Structure 1
Amino acid sequence: MKRMRGWHRFLFGLPLILLLTHLFSVKELQQSSQTMEPPEKLNKKFDHLVLGPAAGQGLSNRLQCQGTKALNRTHGSNGRSSLEDSVAFVTVFTIYNSSVNTADDKAIKTEVGSASYNKVERSMAVLNAFINFIKVAMPRSNVIILTDPKSDFSVQRSQVTLYPIQGEYSRDKLMLQRIRSYIAFLDSRHKMLSQRPGNITHYIFTDSDMAVVDDLGQIFHDHPNFDLALTFRNNKGQPINSGFIAVRGTPDAILRAKLFLQDVLRVYRMEYMKASRMLGDQLALASVVKSKPQFDANRFSKTVAFTEDIRGTKVLFLPCAMYNWTPPEGAGQFRGMPLDVKVVHFKGSRKRLMLESWNFYSSSLDIPDMLCLILASGRTKYDF
């Protein structure tokens, strides 16, 4: 009988137990939902510059920052070279007709800080930022833009010139056309100097997604015996980056640089046309460089400049760590910035960081240079 009474009491209390369990589960779910962000908020990328701790603190071979002030650069931007007024920057840039006429390209906007760009507008914004950086670091230098004669854009800036060159500027052939345009430009400079000798102008050919943050005239002063300069990195398959090529402005050096690039173009056409959209030019450059008998490729693993005579051209090899440095995506993923970076290459998704860095820099009076700003940035991917 006692067992029956206990069983009845259990059955009577069972609904109350189930009710309390249900209420507890509902309350726990409500609490957890309050502490979790919705999925779309968690995955949202920042549309503005995010500053964090500068990576590489305490490492003697990395830039040390106090806020946005660099503490241990051995060569600062204050000392201008005497050659500054005789250096011109050359880049290839075009606006594709398909981009101008496509409704989707006009409608889709990218937010960068307080600005909003469609595809054409953001390409122009990157080009203008490229020019802006040069005007700060080397204000007397000229900028020459090699472009498709059919391309419909203008740049109303002092010391900036559009230089149309006939060619095939489609996206699939742009890297191939870039070498052709460089060759055509050097050929015209050589002919001009042969007919009308005058003051020497040195040329630095770069991608338009680069930021020059220090005076580059020192290259020609410190290394007086080269014709053409390339930037190298410790990458077995692609040790040469084609985004930076310097050419001494003497008639003989311009001619030898042109002949060197013609060799590169020939190798490109023969061996790397399958990579014509990307990387083909870099593969061709490496092939021509390594074609020299007994060339020591182990020097690419060190960040020390060196010179080699390759096919009759004196080629100066400059380390990417100084003249063509690319910030990894996410500043927390790398161990700081090398000392004395002079050129920052904002490849691919880093173009947003290039625009944000310029906007932040130009709106502030308290930033002595760009390097610590860039180093403390990029906490997220800056996709376009």
Structure 2
Amino acid sequence: MKLVCGGWRRFLWCLPLLFIVSHLLSGGLRPDLSIEEVPKKGKNKFDRLVLGPATGQGLPNRLHCQGVKALNRTRYSSSRPRAEARERTTFVTVFTIYNGSLDVRGSGGSSDRVVVGRSSYNRVERSMAILTVFFNFIQVTMPQSDVVILTDPASDLSVTREGVFVHPIEGEYSRDKLMLQRIRSYIAFLDEEQRNVSPDQIHNYIFTDSDIAVVDDLNSVFRDFQDFHLALTFRNNKNQPLNSGFIAVRGTPEGINRARMFLKEVLEAYISRYSSASRMLGDQLALAWVVKFHASFDLKRFTKPQAFVEKVGGASVLFLPCAVYNWTPPEGAGQFHGMPLDVKVVHFKGSRKRLMLESWNYYNSSGSMADMLCLILGSGRTKYDF
């Protein structure tokens, strides 16, 4: 492109054009990305990405961005250390399709449909798209890992994809009981794995929500922290310091057994103390109650984003900071202090589901994980239509 802007008046006339061209060349804009200032007030939801200022600018150990261009990201090289040959990591998630919603699956004219990129989705298709993106990120960052979907045997769930396995488990998967059933399904799965555990091949497990993006290799959890049976993520929140969207279990006989016993105690606390919160939050309240009941450590340790190990009952529990292993835009202190450079998991809770799909589309077109994280960081404060 050749620009002729000689003379003072012509220079003034060309200033806007020069700005646009330079921003395009720097990677700050993409043809399919709408960028504007995030409104300071208002509850309107957006049907497109809205990019605002990225928090954490100037702070050490935080991602710094110019638009959607990462300025200081150097991780995610192809030389990341591999897991030992005798150890594998399998992701486990609970997912179901409610048969009452299947009639909208083929509807093309529903007002409930939303458009993301070049695709249009109804409610069921949105859920499946999120699940697919969940698979996609794992395939990029941990290609040797499998995914197991625990689901209602009555659910019309069919997934044909290498390394993804649908595992029906009997239970009550209604929306009002799903969080309670999730813990039951985890326990049932670990019961089966305990009977089939092999000393020759260790299967480590990471139980997660399906609305997360794994953006870095999580084998490091089992490699860098040796003395734990299960791992939980924590945040600086007095009433709900623990998040149930990420639970890692070491795949040894003792690790699986200790994790089973721990989750059974969480389930008992859930039923006896927090049954009124069975639809949401009850699992997190039960987790916190079990930890506080057993642990003798100072709960103020949850205020500092540093990993530590403590005994909880008979289990050795590794506590990992949400800021790295369960970072959520825009909830929690991480929102105000930006995104840590070593973030490994991004959790797209609530209305951030559109942002999850848009993030994958952007990564798929740009090939840059770091720039994609800038997109998430700048877009995380906005309410979207998912």
The question of a shared fold, defined as TM-score above 0.5 by the shorter chain, is answered with yes
Aligned residue identity for 1:58: G
Give the secondary structure class of the aligned counterpart of 1:363: helix
Tell me which of 164, 182, 194 is aligned to 2:186: 182
Q: CA deviation at 1:373?
A: 2.3
Query: Aligned ranges for residues 267-286 of structure 1 at < 5 Å?
Result: 267-286=269-288
1:157 aligns with 2:155: no
- Name the CA distance, whole Å, in 1 between partners of 2:232 and 2:173: 23
Distance 2:368 2:174 in 1: 42
**Which amino acid is the alignment partner of residue 174 of structure 2?**
S
Counterparts of 1:269 and 1:218, CA distance in 2: 34
How far the C-alpha of 1:104 sits from its partner, in A, is: 11
Output the CA distance in 2 between the equivalents of 1:253 and 1:288: 18
- 2:210 match: 208
Given that 1:240 and 1:286 are in contact with CA atoms closer than 8 Å, whether structure 2 keeps it comes out as yes
Q: For residue 92 of structure 2, give the secondary structure of its aligned residue in structure 1.
A: strand
Cα gap change, 1:125/1:201 in structure 2, threshold over 3 Å: closer, same or farther? Answer: same
- 213-222 vs 50-59, greater mean Cα deviation: 50-59
Structure-to-structure mapping, 1:124-143, within 5 angstroms:
124-143=128-147
- Kindly state the Cα deviation for residue 359 of structure 1 after the two structures are TM-superposed: 1.1
> Do the aligned partners of 1:326 and 1:344 also contact (CA within 8 Å) in 2?
yes
Letter of the structure 2 residue corresponding to residue 49 of structure 1? L
Instruction: In structure 1, give the amino acid aligned to 2:54.
Output: A
Give the letter for the 2:202 counterpart.
I
Aligned to 2:345: 343
Question: What is the root-mean-square deviation in Å for CA atoms of aligned residues?
Answer: 2.3
**231-240 vs 92-101, which moves further:** 92-101
1:354 to 356, 368, 379: 356
Normalising by structure 2, report the TM-score: 0.82
Deviation by residue 1:309-354 (Cα, 9 ceiling, x = unmatched): 111000000000000000117xxx8442223110000000001100
Deviates more, 1:243-252 or 1:68-77: 68-77
**2:57·2:64 contact (CA, 8 Å) conserved in 1?**
yes
Amino acid at match of 2:144: R
Q: Which residue of 2 aligns with 1:58?
A: 58
User: What's the offset of the Cα at 1:185?
Assistant: 0.5
Could you say which residue in structure 1 is the equivalent of 2:31? none
- Asked if the contact 1:49/1:113 (under 8 Å) is kept, the reply is no
Letter in 2 for 1:237: N
Q: Give the letter aligned to residue 252 of structure 1.
A: E
Aligned length: 338
Q: Which runs of 5+ in 2 are unaligned?
A: 1-41
Contiguous gaps of at least 5 residues in structure 1:
1-41
* Distance of 2:194 and 2:306 partners within structure 1: 31
Contact 1:141/1:159 (8 A) holds in 2: yes
Query: 1:82: which partner in 2?
Result: 82
- Mapping 1:166-315, distance limit 5 Å: 166-193=170-197, 196-292=198-294, 294-315=296-317
Partners in 2 of 1:98 and 1:192 — Cα distance?
A: 36
TM-score with structure 1 setting the length: 0.82
- Structure 1 residues 293 and 326: alpha-carbon distance in aligned structure 2, compared to 1, 3 A threshold: closer
Cα separation, partners in 2 of 1:369 and 1:146, compared to 1, 3 Å: farther
Task: Name the aligned partner's letter for residue 202 of structure 1.
Answer: N
The alpha carbon displacement at 1:379 in A equals 6.0
Q: Quote how far apart the aligned CAs of 1:236 are.
A: 0.4
Greater Cα shift, 370-379 or 174-183: 370-379
Structure 2 CA distance for aligned equivalents of residues 184 and 205 of structure 1: 13
- C-alpha distance in 2 between matches for 1:124 and 1:81: 32
Structure that is richer in helix per residue: 1
The answer (yes or no) to whether the contact 2:325–2:343 under 8 Å persists in 1 is yes
Q: What is the percentage of aligned positions where both structures have the same residue?
A: 66
Find the residue that maps to 2:148 and give its secondary structure: strand
User: 3-state DSSP class of the match of 2:193?
Assistant: helix
Judge conservation of contact 1:76–1:214 (CA < 8 Å) in 2.
Answer: yes
Q: Give the Cα separation in 2 of the matches to 1:124 and 1:158.
A: 16
Larger Rg: 1
**Other-structure match for 1:48:** 48
Which letter does structure 1 place at the counterpart of 2:50? V
Shift, 1:105, TM fit: 8.4
